[in-house]
Structure 1
Amino acid sequence: MLYQIISLLLEVLAGVLGGACLLRLYMQYQRIPMSSRSGNPLGRFVFALTDWLVLPLRRVVPALGRWDMASLIAAYLLQLAQFGLLWLLAGADGGLFAVPILAAFGLVRLAISGLTGLVIVYAVLSWVQTHSVMSDVIGRLCAPPLTPIRRLIPLVGGVDLSPLVLLVLLQIASIALGHLQGLALLVT
């Protein structure tokens, strides 16, 4: 029972912080202003959660074009810490080499979950028709994966089904990722 409680707490902590690092990476790639002057509350929140880890990493990890590699490395390190601590709590049984593999799969799973959450919030906000900075930011974040789907699937009775299609595709990706993770752990 104690292992499950600690596992849950580590998953939540690594998920929130790692997800914020991935969101920082994606927002910077999309060139979404995140400063306090921009009025973007999501950007301020992401900075507040991630500056302590990302800023020191930037001193040693350069950006790769528009990609902030320090944010990506920070998210991976958080996943690595989560799985490393769980490995230690489980008695350090099994090979330590599985921990970096689990962390890589955890990072991809975190990205899929984060995009799923963004699409759900985007869909709900589209029903309400709010005109806020937050809905604009979420709309800009969701536009790149939704645009190709919108080209393939027309409006049905004036309703945009692209968020639903993207959610189904993300669930399929999550299932496939779980299968690949199982295969990767069998091989190692």
Structure 2
Amino acid sequence: MLYQIASFLLDVIGGLITGACLLRLYMQLQRVSFSNPVGGLVFALTDWLVMPLRKVITPVGRWDVSSLIGAALVQLVQYVLVLLLLGAAAAWAWLPWMVLFGLARVAVSGLIGLMIVYAVMSWLQTRSPIADVIGRLCEPVLRPIKRFVPLLGGIDLSPLVLLVLLQVAMIVLGHLQASVMR
């Protein structure tokens, strides 16, 4: 029971910080302003990690590599702590794979969360700085799907289609992770 609690707490904290680092990277790639509540939250959660890394790691084009490395480091620490709790000496060889799959899982989960917020906000027709930021983050991902999914009765089903595809991606990630770590 104690392991489950500790593992859960590590997953929540690690997922939150990793997700914020990945969101920082994605917001910079999409050139979304950080002068809004979402940007403020992202900075508050990641500056302590990303800013020192930026002194050593330079961006590659529009890619903020320090945010990506920060996300990977958080996942690494999370899985090291989990392995120490388990006392699983044989599992240390799988640590790079665990970090890679952890990053992918957090990215897909974050996108699922963004899509749910985007869908709810589109139903409520709210005009707020947060709605604009969420829209700017979701539209590039939805654009290819909107080409194939027509409006049905004036309702855009592309977020629903993307949510289904992201759930399938989570299933595939789980199976890939299980097959790699056998």
The interval holding the TM-score normalised by the smaller chain is: over 0.9
Q: Counterpart of 2:119?
A: 123
Q: Counterpart of 2:73?
A: 77
Measured after TM superposition, the shift of residue 93 of structure 1 is 2.8
Q: Distance in 1 between matches of 2:20 and 2:3?
A: 25
Q: Counterpart of 1:65?
A: 61
Gaps of 5+ in 2: none
- Report the 3-state secondary structure (helix = DSSP H, G, I; strand = E; otherwise coil) of the residue aligned with 1:89: helix
Q: Counterpart of 2:8?
A: 8
Question: Are 2:38 and 1:42 equivalent residues in the alignment?
Answer: yes
Question: Are 2:170 and 1:174 equivalent residues in the alignment?
Answer: yes
The normalised TM-score by structure 2 is 0.98
Measured after TM superposition, the shift of residue 65 of structure 1 is 1.1
Q: Counterpart of 2:26?
A: 26
Report how many residues are paired. 182
Q: Counterpart of 1:51?
A: 47
The 5-angstrom pairing of residues 63-142 of structure 1 reads 63-142=59-138
Q: Distance in 2 between matches of 1:153 and 1:89?
A: 47
Partners of 2:83 and 2:91 within 8 A in 1:
no
**CA deviation vs aligned residue, 1:32-81 (integer Å, no higher than 9, x gap):** 110xxx3x110011001100000000111111111101001101110111
Q: Aligned partner of 2:18: which letter? A: G
Following TM superposition, the consecutive aligned residue runs of length 4 or more in structure 1 with deviations greater than 4 angstroms are none
The share of aligned pairs that are identical, in percent, is 62
Q: Aligned partner of 2:49: which letter? A: L
- Report the 3-state secondary structure (helix = DSSP H, G, I; strand = E; otherwise coil) of the residue aligned with 1:95: helix
Q: Distance in 2 between matches of 1:61 and 1:44?
A: 23
Q: Distance in 2 between matches of 1:113 and 1:57?
A: 25
Q: Could you say what the CA RMSD is over the residues aligned between the two structures, in angstroms?
A: 0.8
Measured after TM superposition, the shift of residue 95 of structure 1 is 3.4
Measured after TM superposition, the shift of residue 108 of structure 1 is 0.2
Q: Distance in 2 between matches of 1:51 and 1:10?
A: 20
